[in-house]
Amino acid sequence: MQASATEREPTRGTRVRQFADLTKPRVTLLAVFCAVIGMFLAAPGMVDPVVLAAGTLGIWLLAGGAFAVNCLIERRIDAQMARTRARPLARGELGARESLVFALILAGVGAALLLAFVNALTMWLTVATFFGYAFVYTVLLKPTTPQNIVIGGLSGAMPPMLGWAAVTGEVGPEAILLVLIIFVWTPPHFWALALYRVEDYRKSGLPMLPVTHGHQFTQLHILLYTVLLTAVSVLPFVIRMSGWPYLVAALVLGAGFVRHAWKLHRSYSDRQARATFGYSLFYLAALFAALLVDHYIELFLAP
């Protein structure tokens, strides 16, 4: 029996969803959230609506384009891993050429928006982040070193600096500190995922830390990085970028993260690794939200 036209070809809605999936929407959302927080932290009051809209959209498009290039380069690796085998390129639902064109269009439109409505510094920093993640991390670092996520984490840590530059036109020490927080957060976040997905990474041939050095070594490093992260997270208070409300939130959130990491280090289970990974996502969003709330409390109470 012959297949109907609807069975032979994906619907327009399905096609749109396949292209949207290339941009890793949930990861992109977290990156853009951090960029927007960077904008508001840099502003002495409210952010200019044009800068906010164009900056958010431009960063979103360039981030989505970088993730699409990542999916394109890693499509064969993704097809071998349970976590990623449903991605459109891994399943062969999209072609390499159309995916590349889609990624370049996103990046081009995003860069044009930033240059036209924000400033050149934000555009160049975001383009550099695009190339850092899509090519330096994906092509050079990820397949060659177990420290891939540490070194390559710099690209993923850039969003708050992009938001800061969008509002101020410069990169200040506060923006560098925000980048440092995400940079130190990335290894324990990603290694927790790699622990319970270790067989996927082993099959793929990627030299992730649990594959090359084993579970215990990785568990220890997650704990050490989490302790370091808690120390780094109080620096905004130390340099008077934030006040007491943020400090309390940072210490409480850090204690929760250290508790998860300690339990994981003391007695490994996939369940605890998943819980640590899940908490790491909550931690970053809550920490940056606390920075934002503290910022506007300080502005409201200022004489």
Q: Which domains does the chain have, with CATH numbers?
A: 10-169 (1.10.357.140), 172-303 (1.20.120)
Q: Which of 8-22, 183-197, 246-260 has the lowest mean pLDDT?
A: 8-22
pLDDT tens track for 139-167:
888 888 888 888 888 888 999 999 999 99
Cα separation, 152 vs 137, whole angstroms: 5
Cα separation, 63 vs 129, whole angstroms: 8
Cα separation, 161 vs 239, whole angstroms: 17
How much is the average pLDDT of 48-61? 97
Q: Using the 8-state DSSP alphabet, how is residue 85 labeled? A: T
Q: The tokens of 240 are what?
A: 């008077």
Cα separation, 159 vs 7, whole angstroms: 41
Q: Does pLDDT of 38 surpass 90?
A: yes
pLDDT tens track for 115-146:
999 999 999 999 999 999 988 888 888 888 88
Q: Does pLDDT of 2 surpass 80?
A: no
φ, ψ for residue 186, nearest 5 deg:
-60, -45
pLDDT tens track for 70-114:
999 999 988 888 888 888 898 989 999 999 999 999 999 999 999
Cβ–Cβ < 8 Å for 56, 36: yes
Name the burial class of residue 180, with classes exposed (0-12), middle (13-18) and buried (19+) by CB atoms within 10 angstroms of its CB: middle
Sign of CA dihedral 245, 263, 265, 200: negative
Name the burial class of residue 244, with classes exposed (0-12), middle (13-18) and buried (19+) by CB atoms within 10 angstroms of its CB: exposed
Q: How much is the pTM?
A: 0.91
Q: The tokens of 160 are what?
A: 């708050």
Compute the radius of gyration of the chain from its Cα atoms.
20
pLDDT tens track for 258-289:
999 999 999 999 999 999 999 999 999 999 99
For residue 266, the one-letter residue type is R
Q: Considering only residues 166 and 204, tell me which one the structure prediction assigns the higher pLDDT.
A: 166
Q: Considering only residues 147 and 9, tell me which one the structure prediction assigns the higher pLDDT.
A: 147
